[in-house]
Amino acid sequence: MKELIVATKNKGKLREIKELLKGFELNITSLAEYPDAPEIIEDGKDFSENALIKARIIAEYTGKLVIGEDSGIEVEYLNNAPGIYSSRFAGEAASDDDNNNKLIMALEGIPKEKRKARYRCFAALIDGEKTVGVVDGSCEGYITTEPHGENGFGYDPYFFIEAYGKTFGELDPAIKSKISHRAKALMKVKALIKQVVGN
């Protein structure tokens, strides 16, 4: 069975990706299985570059099929911040709570119509030395003033989807796995994987 390495240590991300790619004859692993892998410095100018950096470093190290994924949230009022700095918005060692607190403080007193946001995801697939492709997905919403729900991770408890009247933190994971930025990007990744491993 072919191995697909997800170039992440984020357990929440790995769980979502495994769920979205089930159906393929793949052994899906992560950097947790490669403790000696080189450090990844995410110094790209955008999500696409960072996804490629992650995939390329781990593909060069292992010679295997690798997904590099970079995602984050862009808030219109904040000139699309935190963007590529989403996971370290409040500092390099910031927790989800730290990042959320900084975001909510930055939007204090700002009315709903100016709290528009979108989650974005870019995924790069590299097979050994060959770049198979880079794809993306996005999902539109609003930032709430209070957290709602225990599902998901990152900014999910504050990311409100109008059509469902719920945050990503409240949304059934089965629905999130159809409409999220990551779901949309990984639907496109499936087509790339088929090029490599067939059906």
- H-helix or E-strand containing 103? helix 96-106
Distance, CA of 166 to chain centre: 20
Give CA–CA dist 190/3, Å, rounded: 15
CATH of domain 2-197: 3.90.950.10
pTM for the model stands at 0.91
Rounded to the nearest 10 degrees, the angle between the axes of helix 11-20 and helix 181-197 is 60
What is the 3-state secondary structure of 38-81?
Answer: CCCCCCCCCHHHHHHHHHHHHHHHHCCEEEEEEEEEEEHHHCCE
Give CA–CA dist 136/157, Å, rounded: 23
DSSP state of 24: B
- H-helix or E-strand containing 176? helix 173-179
Q: What is residue 136's predicted lDDT score, i.e. its pLDDT?
A: 98
Q: What is residue 197's predicted lDDT score, i.e. its pLDDT?
A: 85
Q: What is residue 199's predicted lDDT score, i.e. its pLDDT?
A: 59
Where do the domains of the chain lie? 2-197
57 in Cβ contact with 32 (< 8 Å): no
The amino acid sitting at 71 is S
Given a cut of 70, the residues of the chain with pLDDT beneath it are 199
159-187 pLDDT, tens digit each: 999 999 999 999 998 999 899 999 999 99
Catalytic machinery residues: 70
Q: Which burial class, exposed, middle or buried, applies to 91 when counting CB atoms under 10 A from its CB (0-12, 13-18, 19+)?
A: exposed
